[in-house]
């Protein structure tokens, strides 16, 4: 069966070909040219399609990266602003007024028993109060 099928679909060229056998028509030069041109155009169209799809894909990728970059830029800006707020909070917490108030709350008071020493740290200049 398989052999019969193979036979049936094997193109036979030249004289003596049976009635039931498929006869390959002689391919003229023009036809060949036309076929080649068709193949060429198809390949060209295929390439163009691939190139276009590639281009679109890349462009989409670039756009996505652009969105990502914009988002990251926004996040950086937000973090910078948060930093500013935190910096301001640090300054608030370390402001002289607050430190002074905390010192008083903690029961601290200015020292009144300070010894002044000279820059060489060897001679006691005087004793305050």
Partner 1 sequence: MTAKHLRVLKKRTAWLFVILTVLYVLIAGRLFYIQVLNNEEYCKLAVQLRQRQLVLTADRGTIYDRVGRQLAADIPTCSVYVHPQKVKDKFGTAKQLADITGLNEQSILKLLMSKSKFVYISRELPVEVGDKVKEANLTAVGVIREPKRVHPAGSLAAHILGFTDVDGKGLEGIERSLNSELTGQDGYAIAEVDSYGRVIPETRRGSVPAVDGYDIVLTIDANLQHITEEALAKTFETYKPAGATAIVMDPHTGEILALANCPTYDPDNRKGVPAGAWRNRAVTDLYEPGSTLKLMTIAAGLEEGIPATEVVATCTNGGMQIGRRRVRCSLHAPYMAGHGGVDMYGIIKHSCNIGAATIALRLGPDKLYTYMKDFGFLDKPGSGMAGETVLGLASPDTWPAIKLANIGFGQGIAVSPLQMACAYSVIANGGELMKPQIVREIRTKDGRVVEAFQPKVVRRVVSEATAKQAIEMLIGCVDDGTGKSSKVNGYSIGGKTGSAQKASTTGRGYAPGKYVASFMGVVPARDPKLVICVVVDEPKGSHWGATVAAPVFQEIAEKAMWYLRVPPDMPLEQDESAPVGVTTGKVKVKVGAGHTG
* Interface residues toward partner 1, by CB under 8 A: 62-63, 65-67, 69-70, 78, 81-82, 84-85, 87-92, 94-98, 100, 111, 113-119, 121, 124-129
Nearer to partner 1, 31 or 71 (CB): 71
Q: How far is the CB of 1 from partner 1 (least distance, A)?
A: 60
Q: Are 83 and 91 in contact (CB under 8 A)?
A: no
Q: How far is the CB of 65 from partner 1 (least distance, A)?
A: 8
Nearer to partner 1, 38 or 79 (CB): 79
Q: How far is the CB of 125 from partner 1 (least distance, A)?
A: 7
Q: How far is the CB of 68 from partner 1 (least distance, A)?
A: 9
Instruction: Determine the Cα–Cα distance for residues 26 and 11; give it in Å rounded to an integer.
Output: 12
DSSP 17: -
Instruction: Determine the Cα–Cα distance for residues 105 and 99; give it in Å rounded to an integer.
Output: 10
CA distances from 129 to 2, 24, 112 (A): 123, 127, 7
């Amino acid at each position: 069966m398989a052999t019969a099928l193979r036979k049936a679909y094997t193109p036979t060229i030249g004289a003596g070909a049976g009635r039931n056998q498929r006869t390959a028509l002689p391919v003229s030069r023009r036809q060949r040219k036309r076929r080649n041109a068709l193949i060429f155009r198809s390949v060209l169209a295929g390439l163009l399609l691939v190139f276009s799809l590639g281009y679109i894909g890349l462009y989409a990728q670039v756009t996505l990266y652009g969105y990502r970059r914009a988002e990251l830029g926004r996040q950086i800006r937000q973090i910078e602003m948060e930093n500013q707020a935190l910096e301001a909070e640090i300054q608030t917490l370390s402001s002289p007024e607050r430190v002074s108030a905390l010192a008083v709350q903690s029961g601290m008071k200015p020292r009144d028993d300070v010894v002044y020493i000279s820059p060489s740290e060897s001679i006691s200049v005087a004793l305050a109060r």
